[in-house]
């Protein structure tokens, strides 16, 4: 397909860009340039290319977490933010996606980063300047990353082109007719995802370290633990969700459980005592983190500065707000003149917390109230921000985006226990107890195991409080069920935060669990077909 060809050509140029990262005075080529012919020559080249693959992951994290993982999950407001700023992603939030307005184009632009992974796999396998044991760690990371991207495509589109190494364009084939690709079936995609995960685990072997080469990465590089977390997600999903010709297989629960148990037992992980510390810039790579996307002062900034908080313009400056106690607020979060609020969560998420007791409320939200009558007006999401540099008097958006952490393992174990008829309370209560801290009362605050429906909804409700902003809810609704083997919560009013109507009407909108591809791509690639259901769908 032409989009993939473009992305693959960009991936070839990626090698050139990496020349800026690593150079040596003895190279015969210009010191600031690497082409394919003189790049893959020593271990440093492999390491720098892997650095680039992690930069690719950072570039995609907002797409993965908010656009794909939350925007359609009944999390966000429509219209304007609390300060009057117009909100983004309205077609996603309202489920009004069509081939003319697909929300995301080019299969999420994932094939460029997949092409980079494929190049890495081919060139590193061919690297005769490294011992096989030395290559294993880097290949294991690459297989894990490729499984991550294809799992996103699988959950987003159901079926999608499956491009594996070797990469035809890099190897000299520029014939467009040979490079068009039809969408692979759901079963073929899932088979490949599982195969990549298995190969990643095999290559990691007994390397359980988060930083085996002592680079000080603080859990920002793909690891065996990251592969195990992704594997648990994949097998839990496949145990509960049928996609295309790939039927849900409850036997996969056992494999998901093995990976979760391994994460709890084998990596020195533990829940942080204080919820706020998980995301604090002073505690990067803490005991709860499995995989984080690194942001640092002087490097890239996280996306919350772009989408989540606005003090530069709007009513925060022109009108002002009170806090919930009636005190006037200004630039409470000290972001100075940076930031722009283009996303605001529904108020139901804020009001779900028990005021004064659940510490997560005030870590996650800043609430705003009218200066006239102190009525509630809206919120700002502040869970993942950064810090104020007092020397420069500027706000630095350098809090890491948390991809995987131990609390997520607890929630997966709770879902597995519910499917097995076990006790989910043992996994919910440690997280809830942490949130309530010194005010915790076992008799009144602890969750007591109920029937399947009660448990499933309790898991979702607790996860909403714990993991909002971490890219979970849309996937949760499409995986979790109201009754065992029954409708997924995306089709049930109980999955909606206000409990009034389902996110999607099963009788008329079941096809919308997957995303459409744009008309332009269909017109350019004769082998592509539209996601079923969108062929003649109009905005409703």
pLDDT over 60 (residue 18)? no
| Nearest in space to 126 (alpha carbons), one of 153, 89, 90, 166 | 166
pLDDT-derived band at 36, boundaries 50, 70, 90:
low
530: which 2 tokens? 């539209």
Contact (CB, 8 A) for 399 and 384 = yes
Q: What pLDDT score was predicted for residue 509?
A: 97
Q: What pLDDT score was predicted for residue 68?
A: 98
Quick: pLDDT tens for 76-89. Answer: 999 999 888 889 99
Q: What pLDDT score was predicted for residue 7?
A: 44
* Backbone φ, ψ for residue 238 (5° rounding): -70, -20
Query: Rounded to whole angstroms, how far apart are CA atoms 146 and 192?
Result: 10
pLDDT-derived band at 167, boundaries 50, 70, 90:
low
pLDDT over 60 (residue 412)? yes
Quick: pLDDT tens for 497-513. Answer: 999 999 999 999 999 99
> Is cis: bond before 166, omega within 30 of 0?
yes
Q: What pLDDT score was predicted for residue 16?
A: 40
Query: Rounded to whole angstroms, how far apart are CA atoms 414 and 412?
Result: 5
Report the 10 Å Cβ neighbour count for 28. 5
pLDDT over 50 (residue 6)? no
Quick: pLDDT tens for 294-346. Answer: 999 999 999 887 776 656 556 777 788 999 999 999 888 888 876 678 899 99
Q: What pLDDT score was predicted for residue 129?
A: 95
Quick: pLDDT tens for 337-380. Answer: 766 788 999 999 999 999 999 999 999 999 999 999 999 999 99
Residue range 51-66: mean pLDDT, rounded = 97
Q: What pLDDT score was predicted for residue 477?
A: 98
pLDDT-derived band at 540, boundaries 50, 70, 90:
very low
Quick: pLDDT tens for 433-479. Answer: 999 999 999 999 999 999 999 999 999 999 999 999 999 999 999 99
pLDDT over 70 (residue 24)? no
Q: What pLDDT score was predicted for residue 72?
A: 98
Compute CA distances 290 → 231, 361, 364, 448, whole Å. Answer: 13, 23, 20, 28
Query: Rounded to whole angstroms, how far apart are CA atoms 166 and 172?
Result: 11
Q: What pLDDT score was predicted for residue 512?
A: 98
Query: Rounded to whole angstroms, how far apart are CA atoms 475 and 478?
Result: 5
Q: Is 454 helix (H, G, I), strand (E, B) or coil?
A: helix
CATH number of 1-69+105-205: 1.25.40.890
Q: What pLDDT score was predicted for residue 174?
A: 63
Q: What percent of the chain has pLDDT over 70?
A: 88
Query: Rounded to whole angstroms, how far apart are CA atoms 46 and 120?
Result: 8
| Nearest in space to 285 (alpha carbons), one of 260, 267, 264, 308 | 267
* Backbone φ, ψ for residue 473 (5° rounding): -65, -40
CATH 1.25.40.890-classified regions of the chain: 1-69+105-205
pLDDT-derived band at 47, boundaries 50, 70, 90:
very high
pLDDT-derived band at 381, boundaries 50, 70, 90:
very high
Q: What pLDDT score was predicted for residue 179?
A: 75
Q: What pLDDT score was predicted for residue 293?
A: 97
Q: What pLDDT score was predicted for residue 25?
A: 28
Mean pLDDT of the chain: 90
| Nearest in space to 68 (alpha carbons), one of 397, 515, 404 | 515
Residue range 510-536: mean pLDDT, rounded = 94
Across 47-69, b (16+ Cβ under 10 Å) vs e yields ebbbebbbbbbbebbbbbbbbbb
Q: What pLDDT score was predicted for residue 163?
A: 93
Q: Which residue has the higher pLDDT, 317 or 255?
A: 255
Q: Which residue is listed with tokens 């007591």?
A: 448
For 244: left if phi > 0, alpha if psi spans -120 to 50, otherwise beta; the answer is: left
* Backbone φ, ψ for residue 35 (5° rounding): -105, 175
Q: What pLDDT score was predicted for residue 85?
A: 84
Of these ranges, 37-41, 308-312, 525-529, the one predicted with the greatest mean pLDDT is 525-529
pLDDT-derived band at 61, boundaries 50, 70, 90:
very high
Q: Which residue has the higher pLDDT, 407 or 29?
A: 407
Query: Rounded to whole angstroms, how far apart are CA atoms 517 and 513?
Result: 13
Contact (CB, 8 A) for 409 and 427 = no
Contact (CB, 8 A) for 50 and 18 = no
């Amino acid at each position: 397909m032409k989009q993939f060809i473009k992305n693959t050509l960009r991936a070839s140029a990626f090698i050139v860009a990496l020349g800026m990262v690593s150079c040596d005075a003895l190279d015969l080529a210009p010191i600031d340039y690497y082409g394919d012919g003189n790049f893959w020559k020593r271990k440093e080249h492999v390491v720098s290319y892997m650095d680039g693959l992690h930069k690719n992951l950072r570039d995609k994290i907002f797409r993965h977490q908010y656009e794909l993982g939350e925007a359609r999950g009944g999390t966000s407001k429509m219209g304007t933010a609390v300060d009057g700023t117009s909100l983004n992603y309205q077609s996603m939030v309202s489920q009004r996606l069509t081939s003319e307005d697909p929300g995301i184009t080019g299969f999420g632009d994932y094939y460029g980063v997949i092409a980079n992974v494929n190049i890495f796999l081919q060139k590193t396998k061919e690297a005769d300047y490294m011992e096989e044991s030395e290559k294993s760690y880097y290949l294991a990371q690459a297989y894990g990353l490729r499984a991550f991207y294809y799992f996103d495509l699988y959950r987003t589109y159901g079926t999608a082109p499956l491009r594996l190494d070797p990469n035809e364009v890099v190897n000299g084939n520029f014939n467009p007719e040979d490079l068009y690709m039809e969408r692979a079936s759901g079963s073929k995609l899932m088979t490949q995802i599982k195969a990549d995960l298995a190969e990643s685990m095999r290559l990691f072997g007994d390397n359980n370290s988060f930083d085996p080469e002592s680079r000080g990465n603080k859990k920002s590089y793909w690891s065996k633990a990251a592969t195990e977390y992704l594997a648990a997600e994949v097998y839990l999903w496949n145990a509960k969700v049928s996609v295309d010709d790939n039927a849900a297989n409850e036997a996969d629960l056992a494999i998901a459980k093995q990976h979760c148990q391994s994460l709890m037992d084998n990596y020195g992980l533990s829940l942080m005592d204080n919820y706020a510390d998980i995301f604090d810039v002073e505690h990067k790579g803490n005991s709860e983190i499995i995989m984080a996307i690194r942001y640092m002062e002087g490097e890239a900034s996280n996306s919350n500065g772009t989408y989540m908080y606005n003090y530069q313009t709007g009513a925060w400056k022109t009108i002002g707000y009170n806090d919930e106690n009636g005190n006037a607020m200004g630039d409470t979060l000290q972001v100075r003149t940076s930031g722009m609020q283009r996303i605001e969560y529904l108020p139901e998420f804020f009001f779900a917390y028990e005021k004064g007791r659940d510490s997560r409320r005030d870590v996650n939200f800043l609430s705003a109230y009218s200066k006239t009558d102190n009525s509630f007006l809206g919120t700002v999401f502040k869970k993942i921000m950064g810090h104020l540099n007092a020397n420069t008097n500027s706000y630095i958006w350098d809090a890491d985006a948390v991809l995987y952490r131990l609390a997520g393992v607890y929630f997966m174990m709770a879902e597995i226990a519910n499917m097995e008829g076990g006790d989910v309370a043992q996994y919910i209560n440690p997280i809830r107890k942490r949130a309530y801290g010194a005010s915790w009362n076992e008799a009144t605050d602890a969750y007591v195991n109920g029937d399947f429906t009660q448990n499933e909804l309790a898991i979702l409700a607790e996860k909403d409080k714990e993991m909002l902003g971490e890219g979970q809810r849309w996937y949760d609704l499409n995986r979790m069920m109201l009754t065992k083997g029954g409708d997924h919560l995306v089709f049930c009013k109980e999955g909606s935060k206000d409990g009034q109507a389902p996110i999607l009407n099963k009788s008329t909108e079941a096809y919308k669990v997957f995303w459409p591809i744009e008309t332009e791509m269909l017109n350019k690639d004769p082998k592509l077909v539209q996601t079923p259901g969108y062929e003649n769908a109009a905005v409703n």
